[in-house]
Amino acid sequence: MSAQINSCEVINNSDYLVLHKVSKSFGQTDAVTDLTINVSKGEFFSLLGPSGCGKTTTLRLIAGLDKPDEGIITIGEEVVADAGRWVAPEKRGIGIVFQDYALFPHMTVFKNVAFALRECGKNELKSRVTELLSLVGLDGLSGRYPHELSGGQKQRVALIRSLANSPKVILLDEPFSSLDADLRSELRAETKRIMKERGTTTILVTHDQEEAFSVSDRIGILNHGVLEQAGSPAEIYHKPKSRFVADFVGKADFIPVKLQDGKVFSPIGTFISNGLEDSLTGEAQLMVRPEDVHFEPDTEGDAVITTVSFLGASILYTLRLASGITIHAIRTSAIPIACGTRVNVTAEICHVVVLPGPG
């Protein structure tokens, strides 16, 4: 997982795209409830969540393909949807890339891209399409039909078609999901580069946390139509505000702990939490990520390895502590340790995350 914080990218114009208390239901089902999101100009923002969490609905609400029941949506300075106002999708100045690319099958690559450029002279049209094609390395393919393109090429055409009009916001609806793994990471990096170079505000919808981490400035985690948390990839990973977020973006164990005087007492050590108020006492849950857990074989150790899963570069071990609690630990696979070995467990936790209440 390549979480990187782009602290150098100072974002001035905050609140370029705003969803304020937006709700949308389809019949009995609430797709999105009371959703508030602020995205800055030029920001790459991802909506992450399991299928059916409302992320695609959110995207369609921004695009104007669906109308919100309640709430306000603004793009740039303009209110595009509220109780009295409604701007049609064709007037919002946005670009969208669908999962199936939605290329027009009866048009060549050139015509597909040119379709997006309306008020344009013939010569200018030609030069702009050519420029866009070379942006994604598709020079020379302008005469091909969509069925003559590979998946990656189709995705690139869809991307430049959505960019052609220099839209205020680009919406990407799982655009990488039907590509194979190598191509996916290549296209992700390319898409991110293009968006950053052009300073385009981008919203990506995905269910793949690795994808969200690798491209986003910020991520919003959606669950059952509610925004659980929004923040930088590192914040989301290291400081999840709920068990759902912690579980969704990576492997995490929650072990019962006692709180006292701002300290966390756990079976694998005592930790000091900065954010924790001293007054908070009693039972709680401590988040432990597998990479925070260390263990050494020790015949006298009070924990035991119960399963060993070989993952390639690393091995994921399941450990049963003396108290009967199981936690996971990850170690390099160079020196494997057998199942059933007795071990001593310690933990080194930089970001202490404690959720209130017993498990």
Partner 1 sequence: MLFWSVLLRFGQRLGTLPIFPFTVVLLLALPVAVVGSAALDPSLEIWSHLWQTMLPELIRNTLLLLAGVGLGTFVIGVGLAWLIAAYRFPGRSVLEWLLVLPMAVPTYIQGFVYMATFDYAGPVQSLLRQWFGGSLWFPEIRSGAGAIVVMILVLYPYVYLLAKAGFREQSGSALEAARVLGYSHAVIFFRIVLPLARPSIVAGVALAIMEALADFATVRFFNFPTLSDGVIRIWHGMMDLRAASELAGLLACFALFILLLEQGMRRRSRYFQPGGKTPGIAPVRLAGWKGWAASLACSLVVTAAFFLPVSQLAHWGWQEAGRMGADAMFVYARLAVNSLLLAGLAAAFATAVALFLSSRTRIHSSKAARLLAKLATTGYAIPGAVMAVGILLPLSALDHTINNFLEAWFGITVGLIFTGTLVGLIYAYVARFLAVTYSSIDASMNKITSNITETAKILGRSNWRIMWRIHFPLVSTGVLAGAILVFVDVMKELPITIMLRPFGYDTLAVWVWQMAAESLWAGAALPALAIVLVGLLPVIILLRAETGKITAWSRED
Q: Binding residues for partner 1, per CB under 8 A?
A: 63-65, 88-92, 94-96, 98-100, 102-106, 115-116, 118, 145-147, 158, 161-162, 165
Check: CB of residue 68 under 8 Å from CB of residue 61: yes
Q: Which two tokens stand for residue 170?
A: 């680009």
Question: Rounded to the nearest 10 degrees, how much is the dihedral formed by the CA atoms of 290, 44, 100, 31?
Answer: 80
Whole-angstrom distance, CA of residue 149 vs CA of residue 122: 25
Check: CB of residue 22 under 8 Å from CB of residue 32: yes
Percent of the chain as helix, strand, coil, to the nearest 5: 25, 35, 40
Burial class (CB in 10 A: 0-12, 13-18, 19+), 27: exposed
Check: CB of residue 63 under 8 Å from CB of residue 96: yes
Cα–Cα distance list, 274 to 200, 244, 263 (Å): 37, 22, 9
Residues 146, 129, 149: CA angle, nearest 5 degrees: 20
Q: Is 224 left (phi over 0), alpha (psi -120 to 50) or beta?
A: left
Nearer to partner 1, 116 or 349 (CB): 116
Check: CB of residue 320 under 8 Å from CB of residue 207: no
